[in-house]
């Protein structure tokens, strides 16, 4: 009788398994990208005779050197900032030409006329901590996003997503150009309804 | 007959190592893809603040980075503990920011020069004075698109 050894395990499919794993990881891992709050700085040149803005259309937010928050001259907790900003932007107190037909706010004549007129003025001290400043910025951007989400869902219920998701999809490089083309006018329309008018004053000196 | 002869338990067959290269390549590719190259070594503390209303940063080649924060512990002896700006691999003063931005802009392809974003990677403990100074410098050289780079999380983590 011939001596027989067990047959060798076929390793041919090992490579396939390896590639399968490789592709799995390739698909599931996302390269870590930085993210943050995008802002646009105002250009340097001075504007000749600046437009006169009514006091009621300005929502002033001041962060002092002790990181305390003053909203419309009143000491406020940051947890209330988003709500107050939404109330201000969504107020729609204007009449006639300045009326805002989509606003759901209180229509308080002492608050903003319409979202297009409403300006949030953010002022910080040189001693303000960056962390707190970012938290305030975050809440103000959130207020805009809350309102934009609402209008986007109302105007385009077929999209089945809110403004933030749609914007994310629009900026995602994986989205097809046709899809982007389709989303762009919708996003622009909502952006125009609630334009982000966030003005930052030149910093005050510490005293 | 002998067609269904029971196999004798001879020597154990050697496990084939033919797939070892594949596995190694797989790992290699994985790490190649997943690693983020950091082009400059950090010399400042960089505990970024937290935010949740964030947008992704543009493609790498359209971004220039400005770091700021207190110098890391091994540089404290030499540079002190006050927050400083780091550009590329060295500490810089506020007045150098403009020149840095112009140099960065010149090094990019022409079609990208107008769409550059400046990412401010600033430590959360920094005072706004320094950041305001940087922003003024950026305005002077007309680099108006900025991004406050943050980590993802609820804003309340910033307030202690």
Residue ranges of chain B with per-residue pLDDT less than 70: 1-9, 31-32, 34-40
B108 in A contact zone (CB under 8 Å): no
B106 in A contact zone (CB under 8 Å): no
pLDDT score at B159? 79
pLDDT score at B122? 92
**Segment holding A123, helix H or strand E:** strand A119-124
- Using only C-alpha atoms, chain A has a radius of gyration, in whole angstroms, of 26
- DSSP SS3 for B51: strand
ipTM comes to 0.75
Query: Which residue in the block uniquely carries the two structure tokens 């002896």?
Result: B77
Q: How far apart are CA B12 and CA B2, in angstroms?
A: 23
How many CA atoms lie less than 13 Å away from B77 in the CB half-sphere? Answer: 1
Taking residue B106's Cβ as centre, other Cβ atoms within 10 Å add up to: 9
Tokens of B127: 């005072």
- DSSP SS3 for B55: strand
Interface contact B127-A42, CB threshold 8 A? no
Residue, of B14 and A156, whose pLDDT is higher: A156
Q: How far apart are CA A152 and CA A157, in angstroms?
A: 8
pLDDT score at B3? 66
| Contact yes or no for B49/A130 (Cβ under 8 A) | yes
Residue A202, Cβ density class (10 Å: 0-12 exposed, 13-18 middle, ≥19 buried): exposed
pLDDT score at B115? 87
* B77 within some domain: yes
How many CA atoms lie less than 13 Å away from A79 in the CB half-sphere? Answer: 3
Tokens of B60: 């790498």
What is the domain count for chain B?
1
Residue, of A188 and A1, whose pLDDT is higher: A188
| Contact yes or no for A111/A88 (Cβ under 8 A) | yes
pLDDT at A34 over 60: yes
Interface contact A78-B159, CB threshold 8 A? yes
Interface contact A9-B51, CB threshold 8 A? no
Residues of chain A in contact with residue B63, where contact means CB-CB under 8 angstroms, are 34
Domain with B72 in it: 50-151
* B11 within some domain: no
Q: Which of A143, A142, A133 is nearest to A68 (CA)?
A: A133
Pairing of strands A58-63, A69-71: antiparallel
Considering chain A, what is the average pLDDT of its residues? 82
- Residue partners of B15: CB distance under 8 A and separation at least 6: A9
Q: How confident is the model at residue A204 (pLDDT cuts 50, 70, 90)?
A: low
pLDDT tens for A99-119 read 888 888 888 888 888 888 888
- Residue partners of A186: CB distance under 8 A and separation at least 6: A152, A155, A156, A159, A166
* B38 within some domain: no
Q: How confident is the model at residue A207 (pLDDT cuts 50, 70, 90)?
A: very low
Q: How confident is the model at residue A158 (pLDDT cuts 50, 70, 90)?
A: confident
Hey, which residues 65-94 in chain B have their CB within 8 Å of chain A? none
Residues of chain B in contact with residue A170, where contact means CB-CB under 8 angstroms, are none
Please give the full DSSP string across A9-41, using - where no structure is assigned.
PP-TTHHHHHHHHHHHHHHH------EEEEEEP
For A42, phi then psi, to 5°, come to -75, 145
pLDDT at A90 over 80: yes
* B34 within some domain: no
Tokens of A196: 């982000």
Residues of chain A in contact with residue B139, where contact means CB-CB under 8 angstroms, are 41-44
Closest partner residue to B13 among A5, A29, A36, by Cβ?
A: A5
Q: Which strands make up the sheet holding A69-71, listed edge to edge?
A: A74-76, A69-71, A58-63, A119-124, A198-200
Q: Tell me the CA distances in angstroms from A117 to A142, A204, B13, one per residue in order.
A: 19, 25, 81
Which of A48-52, A74-78, B122-126 is least confident?
A: A48-52
DSSP state for residue B160 in the 8-state scheme? -
CATH code of the domain containing B81: 3.30.420.270
pLDDT score at B99? 92
For A204, phi then psi, to 5°, come to -85, 150
Residues A19-48: b if buried by 16+ CB within 10 A, e if exposed? eeebeebeeeeeeeebbbbbbebeeeeeee
Interface contact A9-B16, CB threshold 8 A? yes
The predicted model gives A141-157 an average pLDDT of 90
DSSP state for residue B123 in the 8-state scheme? -
Number of residues that make up chain A? 207
How many CA atoms lie less than 13 Å away from A10 in the CB half-sphere? Answer: 4
pLDDT at A203 over 60: no
* B5 within some domain: no
pLDDT score at A30? 56
Query: Which residue in the block uniquely carries the two structure tokens 């960089």?
Result: B46
Residue, of B145 and A1, whose pLDDT is higher: B145
Pairing of strands A119-124, B90-92: unpaired
Interface contact A167-B55, CB threshold 8 A? yes
């Amino acid at each position: 009788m011939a001596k027989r050894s067990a047959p060798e395990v076929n390793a041919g499919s090992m490579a396939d398994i390896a590639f399968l794993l490789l592709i799995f990881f390739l698909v599931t891992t996302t390269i870590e990208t930085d993210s943050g709050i995008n802002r646009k700085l105002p250009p340097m040149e001075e504007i000749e005779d600046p437009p006169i803005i009514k006091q009621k259309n300005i929502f002033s937010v001041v962060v002092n050197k002790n990181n305390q928050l003053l909203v419309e001259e009143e000491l406020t907790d940051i947890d209330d900032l988003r709500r107050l900003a939404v109330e201000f932007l969504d107020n729609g107190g204007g009449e006639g030409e300045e009326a805002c037909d989509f606003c759901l706010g209180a229509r308080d004549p002492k608050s903003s006329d319409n979202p297009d007129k409403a300006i949030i003025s953010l002022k910080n001290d040189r001693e303000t901590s960056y962390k707190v400043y970012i938290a305030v910025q975050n809440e103000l951007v959130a207020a805009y996003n809350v309102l934009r989400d609402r209008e986007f869902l109302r105007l385009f219920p077929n999209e089945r997503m809110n403004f933030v998701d749609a914007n994310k999809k629009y900026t995602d490089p994986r989205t097809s150009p046709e899809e982007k083309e389709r989303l762009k006018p919708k996003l622009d329309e909502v952006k125009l309804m609630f334009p982000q008018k966030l003005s930052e004053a030149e910093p005050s000196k510490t005293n | 007959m002998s067609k269904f002869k029971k196999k004798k338990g001879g020597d154990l067959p050697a496990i084939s190592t033919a797939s070892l290269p594949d596995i190694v390549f797989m790992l290699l590719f994985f790490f190649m893809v997943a690693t983020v190259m950091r082009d400059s070594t950090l010399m400042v503390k960089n505990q970024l603040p937290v935010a949740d209303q964030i947008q992704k940063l543009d493609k790498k080649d359209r971004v220039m980075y400005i770091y700021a924060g207190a110098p890391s512990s091994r540089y404290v002896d030499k540079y002190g503990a006050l927050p400083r700006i780091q550009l590329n691999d060295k500490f810089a003063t506020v007045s150098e920011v403009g020149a840095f931005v112009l140099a960065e802009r010149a090094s990019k392809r022409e079609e990208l020069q107008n769409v550059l974003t400046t990412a401010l990677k600033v430590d959360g403990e920094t005072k706004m004075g320094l950041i305001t100074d940087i922003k003024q410098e950026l305005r002077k050289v007309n680099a108006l698109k900025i991004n406050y780079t943050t980590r993802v999380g609820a804003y309340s983590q910033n307030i202690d």
